[in-house]
Amino acid sequence: MTPETVIIVGQKALELTTMLAAPLLLSALAVGLLIGMFQAATQINEMTLSFIPKLLTLAIALAIAGPWMLRLIVDFTRQLISNIPYMIGG
């Protein structure tokens, strides 16, 4: 396995990680921003107010994006396993 191969596999893994994390992080960011604006407008400074809406949003986002995320992971793993002979030079 050459250093270039290791770098390419690592780069693809990082890209996959970014794609998998994006839907959950962006949905939590949007809900957190909306709740923060609501708290600023109403001057309610309760730290736990945003926990339940964020949790529900993450559950909904995971239910919607979950099959797509699972498909990405399975495709990446299949591709990685099928390329093992080429990676080790055989």
pLDDT at position 90 is 59
pTM for the whole structure: 0.80
> pLDDT tens digits, residue range 25-82?
999 999 999 999 998 899 888 888 889 999 999 999 999 999 999 999 999 999 999 9
| CA–CA distance, 72 with 57 (Å, rounded to integer) | 21
Domain residue limits, the chain: 19-87
DSSP 8-state code for residue 51: H
> pLDDT tens digits, residue range 6-29?
899 999 999 999 999 999 999 999
Contacting residues for 88 by C-beta, under 8 A, at least 6 apart: 1
Nearest CA to 57 out of 90, 85, 27 is that of: 27
pLDDT at position 35 is 93
| CA–CA distance, 10 with 34 (Å, rounded to integer) | 35
